[in-house]
């Protein structure tokens, strides 16, 4: 097999068979076909991952298994080392990529050589409802406030990782993806395609739900470290941030939403009806 343009990297661990099959088939049915699909099982005990994977005869699939459980960060790094493609498509073991995801992201990276990470929007499997809205612009600033690149929908230019010596760090698990993005600030540019690239699966067994409290704690650590590293960027992020306050009637009924952005404050009745807009005037410095 010739060197592929894209390497699809998918770690697995005790994945439910039906979810794994949906994830695999969403990759194999992509409109763009020049890829290798590396599936690394992190020493699953409850599910025969290898049997499921080998039931597919597609020659693009490469299966490997860790001799011991390495954890998600080390497994992701191992996948990067195994990869041969110019672009790395992140793929989680229970999500579903839309058919044209790889084509759209590859084309974007090829037309924007300064961008090293391209993500997209994600909706929730089976609902059509948007999981999160990820911004198109000012992503570097946004990363100092929240994780605004959807990791399982992302495609990464491999060279920005290898040339910059940036890897997933297990001390930040389960927010290793957020730490990776923050470590790439200043080394490359980011972009989110404003289309759904991924159907994200929400269920009680996924990492986001099982380790929510730990994730919040680690994200605060990452934010503090990144803000100290980029103080000027942090000041810009605070200035451009949209602040939202909600006032409830009798502590129950959503009554008033106040949105402050830069020098403008908007007041919404019942969260959606704009009733007033104010411009904040900054007093001149008379010193």
The pTM (predicted TM-score) of the whole model is: 0.84
The residues spanned by each domain of the chain are 6-236, 242-279
pLDDT at 94 over 90: yes
Identify the CATH class of 6-236.
Answer: alpha beta
At 269 the pLDDT is 72
Per-residue model confidence as pLDDT tens digits over 121-156: 999 998 888 887 798 988 999 999 899 999 999 999
Arithmetic mean of pLDDT, 37-60 = 97
Q: If we measure between CA atoms, which residue out of 61, 1, 64 comes closest to residue 25? A: 61
At 210 the pLDDT is 57
The β-bridge partners of 260 are 243, 265
At 211 the pLDDT is 75
User: Distance (Å, rounded) from C-alpha 38 to C-alpha 76?
Assistant: 11
At 287 the pLDDT is 38
Within 10 angstroms of residue 245's Cβ, the number of other Cβ atoms is 10
pLDDT at 283 over 50: no
Per-residue model confidence as pLDDT tens digits over 226-264: 999 999 999 988 888 766 566 776 666 776 665 665 566
CA 181, chain centre distance (Å): 9
């Amino acid at each position: 097999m010739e060197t592929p343009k894209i390497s699809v990297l998918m770690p697995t661990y005790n994945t439910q068979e039906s979810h794994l099959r949906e994830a695999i088939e969403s990759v194999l049915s992509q409109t763009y076909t020049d890829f290798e699909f590396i599936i690394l099982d992190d020493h699953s005990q409850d599910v025969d991952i290898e049997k499921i994977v080998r039931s597919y005869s597609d020659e693009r699939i490469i299966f490997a298994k860790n001799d011991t459980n390495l954890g998600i960060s080390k497994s992701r790094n191992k996948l990067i080392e195994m990869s041969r493609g110019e672009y790395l498509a992140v793929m989680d073991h229970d999500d579903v990529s839309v058919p044209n995801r790889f084509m759209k992201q590859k084309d974007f990276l090829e037309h924007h050589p300064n961008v090293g990470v391209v993500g997209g929007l994600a909706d929730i499997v089976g609902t059509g409802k948007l999981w999160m809205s990820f911004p198109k612009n000012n992503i570097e600033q946004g990363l100092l406030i929240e994780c605004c690149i959807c990791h399982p929908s992302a495609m990464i230019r491999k060279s920005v990782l290898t040339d910059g010596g940036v890897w997933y760090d297990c001390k930040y698990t389960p927010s290793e993806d957020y730490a990776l993005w923050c470590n790439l600030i200043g080394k490359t540019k980011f972009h989110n395609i404003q289309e759904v690239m991924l159907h994200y699966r929400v269920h009680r067994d996924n990492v986001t739900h099982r380790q929510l409290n730990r994730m919040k704690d680690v994200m605060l650590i990452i934010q503090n470290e990144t803000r100290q590293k980029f103080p000027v960027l942090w000041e810009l992020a605070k200035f451009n941030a949209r602040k939202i306050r909600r006032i409830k009637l009798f502590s129950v009924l959503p009554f008033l939403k106040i949105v402050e952005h830069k020098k403008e404050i908007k007041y919404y009745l019942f969260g959606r009806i704009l009733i007033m807009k104010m411009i904040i005037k900054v007093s001149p410095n008379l010193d």
